[in-house]
Structure 1
Amino acid sequence: MEHQKIDELVARIKALESELEAELHQEYERFSCEITKKREELLASYRKEHQGLFRYLTTAPVLHLLSAPIIWSVLLPAVILDLFVSFYQWICFPIYKITKVKRRDYIIIDRHRLKYLNAIEKLNCLYCSYFNGLMGYITEIAGRTEQYWCPIRHATRVKSMHGNYKKFFDYGDSENFRQRIAELREDLREEKE
């Protein structure tokens, strides 16, 4: 009975996620059409809103300028982590027949095309797009790995769950874990690339 309620909630969540995705896609399509219709008007607006480098740097708070090197210092470890996690997935996922995660679905670089951003703002957007996309990419790889090896929910509430977590077995449910772990592993093979 308890599992039935959870299954119903998961089904409703999936339906809402699907509905949200469809609505966001429609909104994107409307925005795309508006951009096409108002291209010249938008470009004029972008030129007006563009802030030059000199003005940007002279109006930036000093602490922002001083903290920028610290923010950017994380980039090298992030690139190394990206390489290691991608290598891990490339080697290990085929061994366990886990569908690979596509980087391009998570790391989306497109904000640099916005004409109202100056070079520094574009670079900052590039950094954020890469870093946040990388975190999503790594979370998905870790989630699939966890589903394969230890799909057991925690005893305490988890603040942020990856997409696979809701499929996991209850904490202490040894019977389902032993009997149904093969199903969850098979589910990783069936995911569409």
Structure 2
Amino acid sequence: MTERMRELAGEIVRLQAELDREIEARRKVLGWTVNERLVAFEHGIAMENRRLRVTVASFLAHSNVVKVVTAPVIYSLVLPIAMLDGCASLYQAVCFRAYAMPRVRRGDFVSLDRRHLSYLNWIEALNCLYCSYANGVIAYVREIGSRTEQYWCPIKHALRISDPHKRYYEFLEYGDAQGYRARLGEFRAALAAEAEPPPLSPAPSDARE
């Protein structure tokens, strides 16, 4: 990684920290806080949220036929996603331990707290539960994949790829044969020494209003 690339990576970290501060400020405006992974709303805010809940009958009445017909197709993906979840967990439990690699904490990526929001009816809460699970599993598996790639093939692509994982920027340049032979062990040692990272953002496992 060049000096300029290190500077840009540092700037990304600085901007992420600034974004986290803005998110925290917005939470205060919306009247909720996180304490030991439990979410709590101010009493007045919680009452207002319940008042804004749309009944299931009204929700269904305003849903067009296309949404109703496509719902089974959308929810059918829960089976392959659940299989991916289980297979990825088994994979890292066996292989990461064998190669002395730190395992990914699933709870840092899969959070099912939205279902407790009182302004959602049970259908909306179920939709949120599904989206939270599906996207969380994908993020979880992506992190498992990125650690695997760092161990076996920490090399950038010749062509630009969209939205690479966070480890990618540290990888060796495409075509750097000497660097690959000289530094592959360094990448593996760094991975073995890596502590399990904290969540990228607070991911409460539960919530109450």
Aligned residue pairs: how many? 190
Cα gap change, 1:187/1:15 in structure 2, threshold over 3 Å: closer, same or farther?
farther
TM-score when normalising by structure 1: 0.90
Partner residue in 1 for 2:14: 15
2:91 to 71, 88, 92: 88
Aligned AA (1:32): W
Check whether the contact 2:32–2:42 (CA below 8 A) recurs between aligned residues: no
Partner residue in 1 for 2:32: 32
Shift of 1:22: 4.2
Cα gap change, 1:29/1:188 in structure 2, threshold over 3 Å: closer, same or farther?
farther
1:157 to 150, 157, 160: 160
Aligned AA (1:7): R
Structure 1: any 5+ residue segments left out of the alignment?
none
Mapped partners of 2:109, 2:150: distance in 1? 19
Structure 2: any 5+ residue segments left out of the alignment?
34-38, 197-209
Shift of 1:25: 4.0
Partner residue in 1 for 2:192: 189
Shift of 1:46: 1.9
Shift of 1:32: 2.6
Aligned AA (2:89): S
Cα gap change, 1:152/1:141 in structure 2, threshold over 3 Å: closer, same or farther?
same
Aligned AA (2:186): E
TM-score when normalising by structure 2: 0.84
Mapped partners of 1:29, 1:49: distance in 2? 20
Shift of 1:153: 0.4
User: Are 2:178 and 1:179 aligned?
Assistant: no
SS of residue matched to 2:32: helix
Shift of 1:163: 1.2
Please, what is the CA RMSD of the aligned residues? 1.9
Higher RCO structure, 1 or 2 (CA under 8 Å, sep 6+): 2
More divergent stretch after superposition (80-89 vs 175-184): 175-184
Mapped partners of 2:129, 2:41: distance in 1? 27
SS of residue matched to 1:137: helix
Partner residue in 1 for 2:3: 4
Shift of 1:44: 2.9
Structure 1 residue ranges, 4+ long, deviating more than 6 angstroms after superposition: none
Which runs of structure 2 are paired with 1:27-106 in the superposition (5 Å)?
A: 27-28=26-27, 31-32=31-32, 38-39=42-43, 41-106=44-109
More divergent stretch after superposition (15-24 vs 82-91): 15-24
Partner residue in 1 for 2:112: 109
